[in-house]
Amino acid sequence: MPVQRLVPTQEAADLLDLTRQIARDELAPKVVAAEADEQFPREVFRTLGRAGLLGLPYGEEFGGGGQPYEVYLQVLEEIAAVWASVGVGVSVHGLSCFGLATKGTDEQKQRLLPDMLGGELLGAYCLSEPHAGSDPAAMRTTAVRDGDSYVLTGEKAWTTHGGQADFYKVMARTSDHRSRGISCFLVPADAPGLVADPPERKMGLTGSTTALMRFEGVRVDADRRLGEEGEGLPIALAGLDAGRLGIAAVAVGLAQGALEDALAYAKERETFGVPIVEHQGLAFLLADMAAGTETARAMTLHAARLKDAGLPYSQQASIAKLVATDNAMKVTTDAVQVLGGYGYTRDFPVERYMREAKVMQIFEGTNQIQRLVISRALAKGGAVTTAVAPAEFALA
């Protein structure tokens, strides 16, 4: 059941075709074994980078794809429909490049971005701490200036690609001011004193390594700071808006994959002499799964198009993340129900989809935090904004 997509150019349509081909030929044959063995698929990210799929929303002058966010998110969705762990990894890598792309100097960009966007260097994002998840301003990790360098000390929790990444985008405190005392650094993985704890033992996304990172007097050259001192929290929060759209797209892809597997099973499995898809009770369940997934996709792309138009989109990003991840949880749970007893076994992937969906309601800001962001935006009010869309679109 291919997804009908509206994209702005033929180049974007070709990118989606390329993504589907790579997902089919390179990702699908590896996903079951890697998730079962909890193996991180580092080479897959090199493949995606060399195909130009890791840096799509960034400028072509530094090796990016120069694509609008609405195209990038649909590529991300196609990846996640086959392998959610890789979809999450692509989103996190993109988030780890955000600070450099938006606040880095020309020299920093020229020196670092091409390998980052090309997949030769894989990134990780260090914001949360064991005591400070939804409240990043409460972080305790410090960066103390010492001549031409900074010395970082502290811990960062729930780091996707922790122990596997080649560089870490790190938020650390450079003064005691709660919101303006945080700065942003790019820390190379081989920096002395940077240590990864053993990976977390997770319910799902077992092909994606998550670890606590320890900064034990890690010395970083001052030219690894992004932006000015004290600009770290705005950089982090701006990146999170984009990151929430990435996770929303991953959740849509996961729901789409679950729907397709459930539908295929319902067409083959027979009871009372007919395929179970012809039983109204089950058919309506599948219809609700399709409606929820299309709705989540539409909201995610609406927020992306606002971002592409240079309009405020923070509230819409939170709505997209909330709607898409709650829908993914429901759709994957219903997919297990469609398969019945088989859905509860590891002989079919839907039980894995269900386990993977749960964390999407938690990371990149819990869905309770999204409701807080949305409700605060409603309390502040604001005008409805209208933008002119591009004149030409293509179906892919």
The residue whose two tokens read 């999204």 is 370
DSSP E strands: which ranges in 98-148? 123-126, 142-146
The closest of 31, 42, 35, 10 to 79, measured between CA atoms, is 31
Under 8 Å between Cβ of 171 and 183 = yes
Under 8 Å between Cβ of 88 and 160 = yes
- Which phi and psi (to 5°) does residue 144 adopt? -105, 125
What's the CA gap between 42 and 49, in Å, rounded?
Answer: 11
From the candidates 26, 38, 364, 392, which is the catalytic residue?
A: 364
Which residues, including other chains, have CB under 8 Å from residue 312's CB and lie 6 or more apart?
306, 382, 385
Q: Is 364 a catalytic residue?
A: yes
Q: Which two tokens stand for residue 40?
A: 């991180």
CA trace torsion 371, 377, 382, 383 (10° rounding): -30
| Residues in a beta bridge with 152 | 143, 218
What's the CA gap between 93 and 361, in Å, rounded?
Answer: 19
- Which phi and psi (to 5°) does residue 2 adopt? -65, 145
The closest of 298, 161, 182, 293 to 237, measured between CA atoms, is 182
Whole-angstrom CA distances from 232 to 107, 144, 158, 186 are 19, 14, 19, 12
Catalytic residues: 364
